[in-house]
Amino acid sequence: MSQTLAEKFYYLMKLGREFEIRCKEEYLKGNISGFLHLAIGEEAVHVGAVVGFGKGDLFCPYREHVLALARGIDPKLIMAELFGKATGVSKGKGGSMHLYEPKMDFYGGNAIVAAHLPHAVGAAYARKLMGERAGVLCIFGDGATNNGTFFEAINMASLWEVPMLFLCENNYYAIGTHVNRSSALKDIYLKARDYMPAEVVDGMDVFAVYEAVVKAKQYIEEYGKPYFIEAHTYRFEGHSMADKGDYRSPRELEMFRKKDPIDLLLKKAYKEGWLTEEQVRLIDQKVEAVVEEAVEFALSSPEPSEEELYTDLYCGVCSDVIP
């Protein structure tokens, strides 16, 4: 594992963490409204997966700020989107759950649980037809694997042999319901194992996630077929800003906080000599400046104009039906 990679992981995970802590503050001030789902605690999965997968389409659930940052979308445009401003990555019309940037192969932010899985299979099939092997990375929660579309997607992906990585971030909860109360199979990866290679990874360890995803990507590129990874992780916050998450015991929270993915990364990086305290201090300073700049940009940006209510509603071919 190179020094450069450790530096990249630390920057992106710390950026994700600080960006979301600030989102929470701005939400409480009333600058962000609507839904806001934070991925604090899940940064190792988001950063390890996006960096490890590299080129290809990305389909995400609604907990996608860190995924968008890791893909390289400008933090200013993400923050402006959360503020509902015209300069946002979705022109201020999507909000937190609908960050969308096709120029960077970033296809959401999807609010409907598991609905993006069949879309991702379609995109992977398109890539296959175009003779591309880069494929698609599709991320979803443990709760999503109980939906019908999940089973349709893994079946079709396997049948059509599409280049796609299914990545389940198992944080053990679908809102307040523990996975053991919603899923007949406790090991989520077993749901896919008869369709494609499937494995489990420690989602609190960014290096482990990265390595698993790189291996999966090699398989996808070589064989043009799908692959499945279940990453065990934990969200330190409630499901969304509307949820305190108090259905979880303090003991459970404490246990997972001891596995904070950023602390684990630093511990390993110091031990291996990949990062020094001085480097970390400089990265922290940069992160602080980037987040501050994003908030200032969002605050000073204009609201979308009224005419924007009628744009981007239909694709070009349907535009004649708009009044």
Judged by CB under 6 A, the residue of 28, 112, 289, 299 near ligand TPP is 112
Q: Which of residues 45-74 bind ligand TPP (CB under 6 A)?
A: 61, 63
Choose between 76 and 191: whose C-beta lies nearer to ligand TPP.
Answer: 191
Choose between 113 and 290: whose C-beta lies nearer to ligand TPP.
Answer: 113
Q: Which residue is nearest to ligand TPP (CB)?
A: 141
Choose between 87 and 171: whose C-beta lies nearer to ligand TPP.
Answer: 171
Q: Which two tokens stand for residue 223?
A: 């064989």
Let me know: does 195 contact 234? Beta carbons within 8 Å.
Answer: no
Choose between 16 and 143: whose C-beta lies nearer to ligand TPP.
Answer: 143
Q: Which residues of 44-80 are buried (b: 16+ CB within 10 A; e: fewer)?
A: bbbbbbbbbbeebbbbbbbbbbbbbbbbebbbbbbbb
Choose between 74 and 142: whose C-beta lies nearer to ligand TPP.
Answer: 142
Does position 242 interact with ligand TPP (CB under 6 A)? The reply is: no
CA 18 – CA 82 distance, rounded (Å): 15
Return the H-helix or E-strand segment holding 177: strand 177-178
Q: How many CB atoms lie within 10 A of CB 227?
A: 25
Q: Which of residues 131-190 bind ligand TPP (CB under 6 A)?
A: 140-144, 171, 173-175
Least separation, in Å, of the C-beta of 299 and ligand TPP?
Answer: 28
Does position 232 interact with ligand TPP (CB under 6 A)? The reply is: no
Least separation, in Å, of the C-beta of 136 and ligand TPP?
Answer: 18
Least separation, in Å, of the C-beta of 11 and ligand TPP?
Answer: 24
Phi, psi dihedral angles at 53 (to 5 degrees): -75, -35
Choose between 26 and 42: whose C-beta lies nearer to ligand TPP.
Answer: 42
- Kindly write down the DSSP assignment for every residue of 5-53, as one continuous string: HHHHHHHHHHHHHHHHHHHHHHHHHTSS-S-----TT-HHHHHHHHHHH
Does position 14 interact with ligand TPP (CB under 6 A)? The reply is: no
Choose between 237 and 260: whose C-beta lies nearer to ligand TPP.
Answer: 237
Phi, psi dihedral angles at 225 (to 5 degrees): -120, 165
CA 24 – CA 32 distance, rounded (Å): 9
User: What is the gyration radius of the CA atoms in the chain, in angstroms?
Assistant: 19
**Which residue in 265, 268, 191 sits closest to 229, CA to CA?**
191
Does position 239 interact with ligand TPP (CB under 6 A)? The reply is: yes
Kindly determine how many residues on this chain lie close enough to bind ligand TPP according to the rule CB under 6 A. 15
Question: Contact residues for ligand TPP (CB under 6 A)?
Answer: 61, 63, 111-113, 140-144, 171, 173-175, 239
